[in-house]
Structure 1
Amino acid sequence: MLLSDADEVQLGQQSDPQVIATYGLYDDAKISQFITAKGKQMAAISHRPQLDYQFRVLDTPVINAFAVPGGFVYFTRGILAYLNNEAEVAGVLGHEIGHITARHSAKQYSRSQLAMLGLGVGVAISEDFGRFAGLAQSGLGLLFLRFGRDAERESDELGVEYSTKIGYDAREMANFFETLDRMTPGEEGGLPGWFSTHPASSERVGNVLQLAATAQQNLNPAQLKVNRDSYLDMIEGLVYGDDPKSGYVEGNMFYHPDLRFQFPIPAEWKAINTPSQVQVISSDQKAVVMLSLVSGTTPADAAAKFQTDAGAQVIRSGDADVNGFPARTMISDVQGQQGVLRVVSYFIAYESNVYVFHGISAQASFADYQASLESVMKGFKKLTDSSKINVEPDRIRVKKITRSMTLRDALLSFGTPDSKLEELSLINGVNLTETLPAGTRVKTIGK
């Protein structure tokens, strides 16, 4: 059944804090103010101007923009690195507003379609354990809604209309789609990438160009803006890729400079880091370790709360010492929809907080993973190495070429390693062999 306007707003209001808690907001006032200002400007001339639209920039390198019912629109800092002017931003922003005004999310939404935060783990683990592992449920599931071709075309049309109405050249939106076509689809960090929620279409670039021509003819705007320089000025210094202060992997070790801890990662396992949780996943995706902050003044209190909330059947538990920090350990069984999960938990008191590691697998295969799961937990310790603490993130740095040359030559002249050339070609939306005139500003990656 289609959601009412009130239901949509309520759903968005419930989802928004979950999204923010999970991914965090990117702390850059000028970028946030720009996205909000342009978004509000388009929302006001949209087909549903009565909604109280909210615009957020999420602190994740995943390349995506998405909307949830009720007027909530999200850009990631990852997508901002791949956009090259204000007109491209306006086109994508208008496209997402179009999903809201055409009620695509509301039409797609149903309880059965909500996905748990992916984790890359088997469905039985992520769905069953998610309810007490601190994962947001309904709100994050909205991020996984995939729109069909007709809905995407309608949103493209609305994005072109809205961005043209506020004076931008909607043809630039096609340039971004061309960049996406050159990229390899993928997901990272638990948040779906653009390809997961926006199906590709071979004729999409041509459609957008045709839509833009029609809109410009019908609306006849006085002057169409692109505003490349002002956009590049705005994203100068944008954090690119993972931000190490919030946690990073080097070798087989996870370091968290802000919170001053570290722990090992088993060989071939993968770490996924979000502001609210770190997940370490086995290569066969049949076991996972989750680390998060928990409520409780002591490890014993936190363990008792977990036992109650999860309905855990405790096999054994006891006090322990983890590299000088008091801890409570527990092995328990939790009934899941598709079988029993066995969980090894370490509740550790550290720096006036209680952290918990939950190591999870199916009961039948737990013995195969227990040593690896516990190696992560037993290796938790204070981070004191200043070389691991004082790590700066990569950032977008904009440089100007002084003479005409190809993008490849420009990037090489700025000291770009060969391994980064193709990536920077995508970021700039220009082929490496394309000749750029003198004075062209080029995005590079630096500190």
Structure 2
Amino acid sequence: MRIDEEPATVSGGLRRLAPLALALALLLSACAGDQTGAILAPAAITVPPEAPRVTGRERNTSDADHAKLVASFGGEYQAPSTLRMITEVTDRLVRATERPDETYNVTLLDSPVINAFALPNGRLYVTRGLLALATDTSEIAAVLAHEIAHVTLRHASARSELALRSQLVSRVVADVLNDPETGAKLQDQSRFAIARFSREQELEADGIGVRTLARAGYDPFGAGRFLTALNRTIAMKTGTGLAGEPDMLATHPGTAERITLVTRAARLIGAPGLGVDERARYLAAIDGIAYGDNPTDGIVRGRRFLHPGLGIAFEVPDGFTIENTRSAVLGTTGEGSRRLLFDQVDSQVGQGLDEVLKATWNDAIETGSIQNRMVAGHPAVTALSRGKEWTFRLAAIRVGERTFRMIMAAKGGTDPDPAFRRWTESLAGVSAGEAGALRPLRIQIVQAAAADSAEDLARRMAVPDRALDRFLVLNGLERGARLRAGQSYKLVAE
């Protein structure tokens, strides 16, 4: 949770954030990605619509935009050996494309989100979250080949041109022909056209990426393995065991569809066993990289959340699993019948906390439910709101000059007040000593002993829940798989 974030965008009664600028959404190809959410990048970024060739690894005219983009993803992640390996893989892939004279500049991003994307000027971005998920060089090469395909195919330029043309048509109809209603309909239809176009581009980049993989000497089946790991990760995050399909405006096809396509493309090239995966080299390069939240943006330790920058901490009730996102801390129980949200909201000077709740909540607040109270020594206002399917407990708490919301929802008509009170009363400060002792979790590479099982190594994982599932996904293993003695595997360690 970033200190400077706006209120979170979630379903239910919370007021929603304004959408990102259309031009940025078209030009940022967030492709590998953690498809449970959109890329949160600053709307002020502008990127040239053309895709110039980069003749060397020099800096180009979009340095300011590059800096803003990197900052929006937590800054640049410093891992020289990892960056060197990624750059070597990128150069090898580029030599296997139809434009081998182009050169790309790779930046590692200090973000736990699983994502990679490319800009038309030849800049490639890879998050450390994605690096942690991949298990060998062919998998990371598959992601990079996909992004390189977007640049060489000029996809961003095509999307930008389509968007501008659609905007122009709707504006002419609305302004020149004095028919704003038809103009609005045309613009709405263009959104669907752009979404379809984007999905087609993703599938095209997948197919070309697999062929580039093979020409570069990598295992073309690495693309399918990585997408499978991504799909399993999404499924764990949804808590349903099934990854959700995209809606009609999603710019990405469903991950399952992409797995089918890249696997078919790899089989057209040859049987499994082609190319190299360089597993040992890759794992050595990512040994020790940070995993999960950066403590400066808040960190989850079991059921406890701590944010040194905000100077606050709290503990969620039993049964909740929490996740720290860019704009909020989100939590849910295993069966999904209770959920919670913690975020920071803007408030005006002199604005009462009851007014803050009303201003940031769309549903009706039950008459007479607003109460003034103290939470951990801080002034607070709590309230009750009942929707059609959920019952909400709300709190606005003022800590110094900041105002926070704590919201708990229970499915049906049951009032979640007992658990809500335990949660709000756990709010506390973070001491300087505790803040200084916080360190990010890290990927640790270990070799399996002859007697080790997946369950044995999973017990060494420093994760809050589902240790075995996380170990299997991180290492590309299925349940019941036997470990190979002497082979390296990824753990999450403190």
Bin of the TM-score, shorter chain as denominator length: 0.5 to 0.7
State the distance in 1 between where 2:136 and 2:382 align: 53
State the distance in 1 between where 2:284 and 2:323 align: 31
State the distance in 1 between where 2:231 and 2:414 align: 44
Partner of 1:83: 134
State the distance in 2 between where 1:390 and 1:226 align: 38
The structure with the largest helix share of the pair is 1
Q: CA deviation at 1:202?
A: 8.0
Unaligned runs of 5+ residues in structure 1 are: 1-5, 111-141, 218-223
State the distance in 1 between where 2:325 and 2:428 align: 20
Cα deviation 1:377-430 (Å, max 9, x = unaligned): 2331223496797354442223568xxx75x65989999759977865654457
- Paired residue for 1:169, among 201, 209, 218? 218
Partner of 2:210: 160
Partner of 1:231: 282
The question of 1:382 aligning with 2:429 is answered yes
SS of corresponding position for 2:132: helix
- Paired residue for 2:314, among 230, 252, 263? 263
Cα deviation 1:251-283 (Å, max 9, x = unaligned): 5x4444554422232333332322321123466
SS of corresponding position for 1:188: helix
Partner of 2:235: 186
State the distance in 2 between where 1:234 and 1:194 align: 30
Partner of 1:357: 405
Give, as a single letter, the amino acid of the residue that structure 2 aligns with 1:210. R
Give, as a single letter, the amino acid of the residue that structure 1 aligns with 2:394. V
State the distance in 1 between where 2:434 and 2:470 align: 27
SS of corresponding position for 1:186: helix
Give, as a single letter, the amino acid of the residue that structure 2 aligns with 1:267. D
- 1:21-420 equivalences under 5 Å are 24=74, 27-30=77-80, 31=82, 57=109, 59-60=111-112, 64-65=114-115, 75-98=126-149, 101=153, 154-164=204-214, 167-171=216-220, 173=222, 176-177=225-226, 180=229, 186-188=235-237, 197-199=254-256, 207-212=264-269, 228=279, 230-241=281-292, 246-250=298-302, 253-256=304-307, 259-281=310-332, 285=336, 288-296=339-347, 300=351, 304=355, 307-308=358-359, 310=361, 315=367, 319-325=372-378, 327-331=379-383, 344-350=394-400, 353-359=401-407, 361=409, 368-384=415-431, 390-399=437-446, 409=452
Q: CA deviation at 1:358?
A: 3.9
| Paired residues of 1:22 and 1:276 also in contact (CA < 8 A) | no
Q: 1:155 to 1:415 in 2, by over 3 A?
A: closer
State the distance in 1 between where 2:423 and 2:459 align: 36
Q: CA deviation at 1:345?
A: 2.5
State the distance in 1 between where 2:105 and 2:354 align: 41
State the distance in 2 between where 1:279 and 1:12 align: 29
Partner of 1:17: 42
Cα deviation 1:73-121 (Å, max 9, x = unaligned): 76553442242333321112223555685969969x99xxxxxxxxxxx
Q: CA deviation at 1:329?
A: 1.0
State the distance in 2 between where 1:32 and 1:299 align: 49
Give, as a single letter, the amino acid of the residue that structure 1 aligns with 2:143. V
Give, as a single letter, the amino acid of the residue that structure 2 aligns with 1:91. A
Give, as a single letter, the amino acid of the residue that structure 2 aligns with 1:331. A
Q: Percent identity?
A: 19
State the distance in 1 between where 2:399 and 2:261 align: 53
Q: 1:207 to 1:308 in 2, by over 3 A?
A: closer
SS of corresponding position for 1:329: strand
SS of corresponding position for 1:16: coil
| Paired residues of 1:399 and 1:442 also in contact (CA < 8 A) | yes
Q: CA deviation at 1:238?
A: 1.7
State the distance in 1 between where 2:376 and 2:468 align: 44
SS of corresponding position for 1:59: coil
| Paired residues of 1:9 and 1:69 also in contact (CA < 8 A) | no
State the distance in 2 between where 1:150 and 1:171 align: 21
SS of corresponding position for 1:368: coil
Cα deviation 1:293-338 (Å, max 9, x = unaligned): 233476846764564465676646565432222x24153769x8x7
The structure with the largest strand share of the pair is 1
State the distance in 2 between where 1:270 and 1:36 align: 37
Q: CA deviation at 1:237?
A: 0.6
| Paired residues of 2:79 and 2:289 also in contact (CA < 8 A) | no
State the distance in 2 between where 1:370 and 1:22 align: 36
State the distance in 1 between where 2:472 and 2:391 align: 46
State the distance in 2 between where 1:442 and 1:361 align: 39
State the distance in 1 between where 2:418 and 2:358 align: 22
State the distance in 2 between where 1:182 and 1:291 align: 27
Cα deviation 1:130-154 (Å, max 9, x = unaligned): xxxxxxxxxxxx9xx9999987764
How many residue pairs match? The answer is: 383
Give, as a single letter, the amino acid of the residue that structure 1 aligns with 2:346. S
| Paired residues of 2:331 and 2:341 also in contact (CA < 8 A) | yes
Q: CA deviation at 1:368?
A: 1.5
Give, as a single letter, the amino acid of the residue that structure 1 aligns with 2:237. E
Give, as a single letter, the amino acid of the residue that structure 2 aligns with 1:359. I
Give, as a single letter, the amino acid of the residue that structure 2 aligns with 1:383. V
Q: TM-score, structure 1 length as denominator?
A: 0.59
Unaligned runs of 5+ residues in structure 2 are: 1-20, 29-38, 44-68, 164-191, 246-253
Q: TM-score, structure 2 length as denominator?
A: 0.55
Q: CA deviation at 1:198?
A: 0.8
SS of corresponding position for 1:199: helix
